[in-house]
Structure 1
Amino acid sequence: MSTLYTAIAVFAILATGVSIPAYAQLVDAITVTTDKEAYEDGESITVTGQVRERLSGYPVTLQVIAANGNLVTVEQLEVSEDNTYGIDITAGGALWRSAGTYTVKVLYGTDSRVAETTFEFGGSGEQTGPRTKTIAVTGNPELLVGYSIKGGKIISIEPDIAAKSLIVTLETTSDGEVTLILPRGVIDAKLGPDGQSGEDDSFFVLVDGSEGDFEEITTADDRTLTIQFEEGTTQIEIIGTWVIPEFGAMAAIILAVAIVSIIAVSARSRLNILPKY
């Protein structure tokens, strides 16, 4: 009989030893994969995955991170009844210029369920993606804003000094998006008391007067915003904490030189008409 009890005890210990630890459940709580290992500019990337346990009210947050570390895509994906999710993403555009290994990262729930996968991308060229152009800021011909646009064209970019904003006037032909490469010398959003110093703050974007969603990547020299718009949109306003005055440094110098020249000519003219004794 003691042999039987011993066997039962050993079996119980072995059964306990092969049970799945809690950390293994967390690792496998969500999976992610792409349909290919490498993509060319303009190709469609199919991302799919599965969650172990479907959590009501919690979407999957998907991020695509470029080879240079910039965040190029953020999506919120609903989980279906069979615990799966998926999305098709077009590879390419102004934010996808970097070539190399891209990372797809997914997050789910409140306990840091995370999974990652990677793919290779050759970088987005001007010929297959939307071409980056430049446009001068109204009143500041020496200050240029880079941009690319799908579904319309930009008519003008004008500073609003009082609102500390840039007003982008559009002419649209369909739903689309515009990517603006904004030099920090044109507009910025900072937490410092002067609006030009301290840590970066968030811009506030209005699309025809309503708050709009946007994606952003930043460098030391500029801030790049990608903004969605609907057909018929005529104006996008980007509000920060500081914007370039209506006349830039070069324009101010030219104006000062012109004023000095006028004064000099006027003084000479008065001397020439004075009577001589």
Structure 2
Amino acid sequence: MNYSHLVLIFVSSIVFVFAQHAFAQSPDCRICVAEKFYEQGDTVVILGRVDAVLPDTDLLIQVYNNNNRVHIAQVTVAQDGSFTYTFPADGPYFKADGNYTVQASYGPSGNIYETSFQFQTKNTASAITQIFEVRAGDSGTFDVPYTIRGGTVKNMFVDPAMLALVIQIQADNDGTIILDLGRNWIDAKKPDGTDDTYIIQIDGVQVPYQESSVSPDSRIITIQFLEGDSDIEIIGTYVIPEFGTIAMLVLVVSIVSMMFLSAKRGSQRLSKSHTLP
């Protein structure tokens, strides 16, 4: 007897029963999802009801994340006006955590009904949080707390000539790294003493970042990276061990040159984004 086949039938039946139960609790729902949270690989269950059944007319379901369409399907509507549709939350277009919007449209009226669910990738569930001890020459060492999703940290070191902290990663997937940067060993300041922005480069291309927390002792930043990226440079106006004034002038010229190169190479990173036609 094929027990795996029986288990599959049993699980499918359970999903269907729970979906029907969820819909029974919301009889006025035009479009609903059985759960408000799904992880990568889960089966998303969409169900609802139309006001009037039109002959030979399918319901159009579209799923979006940040205005990018990640899934589309035509669904048959039952004679009583109800519909149920399932699909796996997986594949090349389900690579980002966050809110996913489900839209349903039916017939010539053009009315669109929406619902949404939260999605989490396996990378998020398997986030790595550690502290990396960085060598700083005669200044000894300092600790960098970090959390990385979608890859692993291979090394961190200081590049005094660039006033930079260099982070070498193995990016198995698109992901993020959150870094707690202590001001005692790296910072970015304007001439008036107020905070300036860091320059962040990934493999020589300047990229944006988010700063989530600022305190007198540290700054916490989040950097997004793409699958295959390797070297992240965080460039400030100060890093230990300190560097000479002449080298600082060389650094300014180098940064300006790299910004021009980044503008030319930035389009290469954009071409890696995934959008369903």
Shorter-chain TM range is: 0.3 to 0.5
| Rg larger in structure | 1
User: TM-score normalized by structure 1?
Assistant: 0.42
User: TM-score normalized by structure 2?
Assistant: 0.42
